[in-house]
C-alpha cells in the first residue's frame, strides 16, 4: 500500500473557497478515477508558512495504479486546480510506502 500526499499552502484570502472546492469537486473527481481506495483531508496546525497549509492524502494499493493516475488522470486534474487558483497556492507532492 502506498500513500500519495499532496501538501498545499493556500493564501488566506482563498483558503475557504479552496477547501470547499476540494471537498465538493476535486477530491470526488480524484476518487472517481477508481485508482485510490481511500482519502483524507487534513489541516496543518503548526505550519511556519504564511497562508493555510493542508494535506490531501490518497491511499493506493499498487505502484501501477499510482503511475496510471499520474499519467492518465493527474494532468487534467492538476490543470483544473492551477487554472482555478492560479498564483494562490504552492503544492508539494510525495509518495510514501506503508511499512507495516
What's residue 90's pLDDT?
Answer: 95
State how far the Cα of 57 lies from the Cα of 5, in Å rounded to an integer. 4
Q: Note the pLDDT tens digit of each residue in 35-85.
A: 999 999 999 998 888 899 999 999 999 999 999 999 999 999 999 999 999
In 3D space, the residue among 61, 55, 64, 66 whose CA is nearest the CA of residue 27 turns out to be: 55
Domains by residue range for the chain, with CATH: 2-97 (3.30.70.100)
CA–CA gap between residue 75 and residue 7 (Å, rounded): 17
| Owner of C-alpha cell 488522470 | 73
> Given this model, what pLDDT does residue 22 score?
97
Nearest to 22 by CA among 40, 35, 38: 40
Q: Is the pLDDT of residue 4 over 90?
A: yes
- Report the distance separating Cα 82 and Cα 68, nearest Å: 21
Q: What is the pTM of this model?
A: 0.93
pLDDT of residue 39: 98
Amino acid at each position: 500500500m502506498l500513500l500519495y500526499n499532496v501538501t498545499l499552502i493556500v493564501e488566506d484570502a482563498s483558503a475557504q473557497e479552496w477547501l470547499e472546492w476540494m471537498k465538493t469537486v476535486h477530491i470526488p473527481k480524484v476518487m472517481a478515477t477508481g485508482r485510490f481506495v481511500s482519502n483524507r483531508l487534513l489541516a496543518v496546525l503548526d505550519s511556519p508558512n504564511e497562508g493555510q497549509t493542508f494535506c490531501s492524502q490518497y491511499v493506493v494499493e499498487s505502484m501501477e495504479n499510482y503511475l496510471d493516475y499520474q499519467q492518465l488522470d493527474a494532468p487534467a486534474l492538476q490543470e483544473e486546480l492551477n487554472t482555478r487558483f492560479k498564483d494562490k497556492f504552492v503544492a508539494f507532492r510525495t509518495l510514501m510506502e506503508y511499512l507495516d
